């Protein structure tokens, strides 16, 4: 498997595409911050242009060091298009809270987001492809890979995997309270933050589950398993 070796907490050099121009104080270019957001989120949106038409496709992903992996069927239009070496933009957003101000104008949201630019590369090495599929699985639910049947040769050959280097990326983060106009702080209106978070429900057994198999601890304690 080929890997790259960006140092942890490296500061990425902003490019024309990743430089935060609107509210630049919210920008962050530390690789560890970017990795943390990617590791917590579950869905990314992949943007690209094909036949002069823009597309934005939601998909799952996995990260190994400074590479982001996406995968799917070789019949996928998105994956087939990205193998042609076109530019791609990937975004991820975590919504942490609703920011309720005293005025309509200053309502906002607390969030952590990442934008990545680059060109995706087709993964042909079977060892790297297998590691990517492990990363997908463990990203969705940690501790699952060691329990399940892992991909066989035919399944690996029937899966298209692409990698994207995380060397042109930036994070944008908003935290804290509303920022109202000074005169509005005297208004008799409640203001503050309504925190939001993902909550896992109770696991539901598959209808054909073998009798006697219990729900694993890492499923019952999903939130703790992902260290969120």
Tell whether 145 is covered by a domain. Answer: yes
Tell whether 9 is covered by a domain. Answer: no
Structural domain that includes position 163 = 24-197
Q: Which of 148, 147, 141 is nearest to 219 (CA)?
A: 141
Tell whether 227 is covered by a domain. Answer: no
Q: What pTM was computed for the model?
A: 0.92
Number of domains, the chain: 1
Tell whether 92 is covered by a domain. Answer: yes
Per-residue tokens: 122: 């087709």
Q: Measuring CA to CA, how many Å separate 175 from each of 28, 32, 113, 195?
A: 13, 18, 12, 11
Q: What is the pLDDT along the chain (228 residues), one digit of tens a residue?
A: 333 445 567 999 999 999 999 999 999 999 999 999 999 999 999 999 998 999 999 999 999 999 999 999 989 989 999 999 999 999 999 999 999 999 999 999 999 999 999 999 999 999 999 999 999 999 999 999 999 999 999 999 999 999 999 999 999 999 999 999 999 999 999 999 999 998 899 999 999 999 999 999 999 999 787 765
Tell whether 214 is covered by a domain. Answer: no
């Amino acid at each position: 498997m080929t890997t790259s070796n960006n140092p942890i907490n490296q500061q990425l050099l902003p490019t024309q595409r990743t430089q935060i121009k609107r509210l630049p104080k919210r920008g962050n270019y530390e690789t560890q911050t970017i990795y943390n957001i990617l590791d917590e989120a579950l869905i990314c949106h992949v943007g690209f242009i094909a036949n002069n038409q823009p597309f934005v496709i939601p998909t799952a992903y996995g990260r190994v060091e400074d590479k982001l992996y996406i995968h799917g069927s070789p019949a996928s239009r998105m994956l087939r298009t990205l193998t042609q070496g076109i530019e791609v933009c990937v975004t991820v957003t975590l919504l942490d809270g609703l920011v309720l101000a005293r005025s309509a104008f200053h309502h906002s949201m607390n969030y952590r987001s990442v934008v990545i630019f680059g060109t995706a590369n087709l993964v042909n090495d079977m060892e790297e492809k297998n590691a990517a599929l492990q990363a997908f699985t463990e990203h969705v639910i940690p501790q699952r890979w060691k329990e399940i049947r892992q991909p066989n040769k035919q399944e690996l050959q029937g899966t298209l995997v692409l990698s994207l280097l995380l060397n042109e990326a930036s994070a944008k983060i908003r935290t804290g309270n509303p920022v109202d106009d000074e005169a509005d702080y005297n208004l008799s209106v409640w203001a503050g933050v309504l925190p939001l978070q993902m909550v896992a429900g109770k696991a539901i057994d598959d209808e054909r589950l073998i009798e006697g198999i219990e729900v694993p601890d890492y499923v019952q304690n999903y939130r703790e398993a992902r260290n969120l």
